[in-house]
Amino acid sequence: MTLQALVIDDSRAMRMILSRMLEDCGFEVIEAQDGRQALAQLSRLDHPALATVDWNMPEMNGYEFVKAVRAEPEYSNVTLMMVTTETEIDQVVRALAAGANEYVMKPFTKDVIVGKLELLGLANGLQ
């Protein structure tokens, strides 16, 4: 069974980079440009395993998205990985306290993403 991943970022280039990395790792990737669009996408997916979430986005930012997802029991199994330029320790703590499972600071490499997937137990299908 192919794992689904939702890539949420307002930067088209960043969505493309993350999507390619996750596809190389065996994920089926769906993209969203902000948290509001991502919530709509999430409701249409069949048990997504992962969402990578940027912090700074219009409409609904990543922090608000994490809080909204964690408020819905049906999404309790979705792994949330913040992937953002926010490097302040207070922001990291806020995101993790809100329910993010991991935190990656931009810029990053594919090795960093793969390492986080392994840490989160989502590396079974890595190619």
pLDDT at 45: 87
Helices of type H across the chain = 12-24, 35-44, 62-70, 89-98, 110-119
Q: Tell me, what's the pLDDT at 2? A: 84
Cβ-Cβ contacts under 8 Å for 32 (sequence gap 6 or more): 6, 7, 8, 38, 40, 41
| Residue ranges of domains in the chain, CATH in brackets | 4-119 (3.40.50.2300)
What is the maximum alpha-carbon separation in the chain? Answer: 37
Long-range contacts of 39-48 (CB under 8 A, 24+ apart): 39/65, 39/68, 39/69, 41/6, 42/6, 42/69, 42/75, 42/78, 45/4, 45/6, 46/4, 47/4, 47/77, 48/3, 48/4, 48/5, 48/6, 48/78
The pLDDT assigned to 125 comes to 52
Whole-structure pTM value? 0.93
Residues 6+ apart with CB under 8 A from 115: none
Model confidence over 75-102: pLDDT tens digits? Answer: 999 999 999 998 889 999 999 999 999 9
d(Cα 120, Cα 15) in Å, to the nearest integer? 21
For the chain of 127 residues, list the mean pLDDT of each consecutive stretch of 10: 92 97 94 96 88 94 96 94 91 94 94 94 68
What's the pLDDT score for residue 78?
96
